[in-house]
Chains A and B, each alone.
Chain A
Amino acid sequence: MNSFLALRDQELTQFTGERRQKVRHRVERNLHTAEFIASVVELFGPVLADTMNVLGGGHSMLEGEKLRILSETEDDDPYGPGPGVGEIVR
């Protein structure tokens, strides 16, 4: 084996055991942080962007998104009248 490869092998053996594990844990922590930040951005990013847009004088992107309320649904009484409705209780 030539001297450069022997040097490389010595370096490879330097990076083992606890040292290697320590760096691995640090990488995992970085990845978890990155994942958390990505999730937060994904969740709140559109709302934040919309808020900034409205604050800047624009129209809300969410304006067109009309949520139906119960009284406007096609079937606002899906279970029908309960028993005894309309009867006079004496």
Chain B
Amino acid sequence: MEDMDIVQAYRAHQHATCFQLLYDRYAGKVFSKAMTMLHRESEAEDAVQEIFTKIFTSLGKFEGHSKFSTWVYSITYNLCIDKIRRGKRSRELFATEMDDPPDTAEEVPDEALLTMQVSELRYVLGQLTEAERTLLLMKYKDGVKVRAIAQLLGKNESAVKMQLKRIKEKAKRIHDKQFATIS
């Protein structure tokens, strides 16, 4: 059954089964995306609750111009950004300039990050700042396009690309420093 069919059925009858279907389909994904932004399980769990309440109370506004999943994810990111702003953690996340000076070296290929072990990746992510971690996860874990990230964070596309480039370099440096010497 397509998402839109369930949405229409829920609008018509507000049946609990429709609610359960949509919740089961998206809860895990929404939680994962909330983790990308908020990094703490308890906060991500609260965010899931707020996001689904918002989704079902504004379901009447969903006109079907975009995919339902796109609509859900935009609500997820916007709500998480609001939470970050409220938590006064926004200065770092929305800053355009990074601490690192621009690096003229060749760009780190994606494979360098994608082929890490999960435990290694967790370590590297733990060493990055919140803003760096968020950007990297949005791009590679959630598969959000650079243009969409730029829109969500209120930055221009080239600034996001530059930030990603620097974050990848930093992540590679951290990884090599910790794991290259061990192996």
Contact = CB atoms under 8 A, between A and B. Distances in A.
Contact of A27 (B49, B114, B137, B142): B49
A3 B169 CA distance: 17
A2 B115 contact: yes
A12 B118 contact: no
Main secondary structure of the interface of B (DSSP, over half): helix
A31 to B, nearest CB: 6
Interface in A11-53: 11-12, 14-16, 19-20, 23-24, 26-28, 30-31, 34
Given A3-B121, A4-B140, A27-B23, A11 B56 contact: no
A7 B49 contact: no
A8 interface: yes
B96 interface: no
Contacts of A73: none
B113 A26 contact: no
Contacts of B23: 24, 27
